[in-house]
Structure 1
């Protein structure tokens, strides 16, 4: 099974039991604090998220899998390169995982193929595959099955692969021996907590999604809280700061799959270029990728915030170009876009008054 999984692009598989009862109090407390923000799907299924056998009746074991997503040919100094992007305010930064094909389809599709191979060996069996696509405690299952430990940023970390991988699960109706969990190796390091621009990591393993840039640029509808906008820098879709700073990611491995190769229009592009995309262009350039799910309105909203942040640091020539780009959408049909454009333009005015 491990050989089949490697042939399909997975770097490791494990097995977890369906008893996640010890994780239920933490989940309930996290939800009670409202840390899930507008992600109402996190609470809609109640404790089924922590009860695989209730989510999919008949489930006896869970096969877990991880799939690396660093693009093929990624340079060893990729962490430094990615952090350097944050020092170029005029560039729009898209999270690494979102620069290629939509991982939901890739991971689930390859898990389905793995199931077919298993079926040839053991005969027909009941199963269902997931990858960030249902109320599943993916990190909990991954850590319990030995794919890694939960880092202080709450992501799963591996000594061999860092955290730059997707997770997937196969709920099966036959028993498998659970694989051994691994011990945590974060020690006294608090790099991920210290680097978070918005202070979203409240304590080791506890993230307030409402402050997380990934949440704000992807999950959040409508207006982004004004007090958080200046902290978002030039992030326009997702945020990798807690991962690019993590020492364990020097061991992150590139994928062997072309699916996660970077799409050039999304990497190293200037904000003014991206802000000029009309909706047909946005849909064409993001076809088959995860960015399309936020829609053109939120795409423009996010870039408007980044333009405002760039405007605060711009010289006279740069400010003229940035302001012109923003003014081109000052009368946008979307009230959300208009609001964020007005805020962004005000950043230039505030800077000129200082």
Structure 2
């Protein structure tokens, strides 16, 4: 079973690298992922910058190299790091969105850890920039600079970053704020709080990646506290377990397949982020009580059932998979007709194919990496 998922993850990696990976502006020793396939000319030139999609592309490259480190994989990671820095004109902090920056900080830190290298100055500066953005009134990060919207997609990855960096106090403050203010009646985490003239208003949608990042942050905090503050560690594991159960009940089919409409664009990444952290929980929390064992089993089932479904519903083009945006339905063949806003495409109203987006394909790759990870852990 483990070998099967390793092979499928390899095919996902190959599909995305063959279709999306290219040098930045023909510069040698650089690499980035084109945001759609088949791409338009503007997309090939990275005319519109998808900062956080590239962060998740880098994360997936690190996943593959963590499974089996090769010179080619390590080289591609280094080239991607360079491509990111050049496309950002040398300053990774040139971005108003704190969620984007947190995702990139997480991916870059993983890449450097894989190389067994200390964090470079540019990464330390990025992390410091994120921490400096914490609002003095609420104690948490806004969605973007100058914004009065405080959300989980920003504070979740930031909490994971802080916990991995050893700042457990600050990580706990972010997580506690999310759980205290945004836990819905069905057990899922809502999106955020917008400060208005009439007072704070909860933004209620419960996106898959909101659940994923809170699970991930709770696991990081619990592991950091386990040796010297066991009782507090258990509290965060309890939060993580409750979220896994809520995801299984509210976001999955009876067979355990994550079934949540996320479409194309940024939403294409949402389910992939959720399964990344479900897998993280499944392999990391201790099997020292029945509740942990049961939750690990549920998380593993959600990952593997979703991966089986996505694989069954994939398309194959030139022997490589195209993953569906809906993990319970067949993938559609991508094309780029009608994406340029031409008068012809407006007249015929060509339906946009979600599967064309890098975000959708990265979610499929993340899912297969998650499946490879949990199956290897249990074999």
TM-score (norm 2): 0.28
Decide which structure has the larger Cα Rg and report it.
1
Q: Which has the higher helix share?
A: 2
TM-score (norm 1): 0.29
Q: Larger relative CO (CA 8 A, sep 6+): 1 or 2?
A: 1
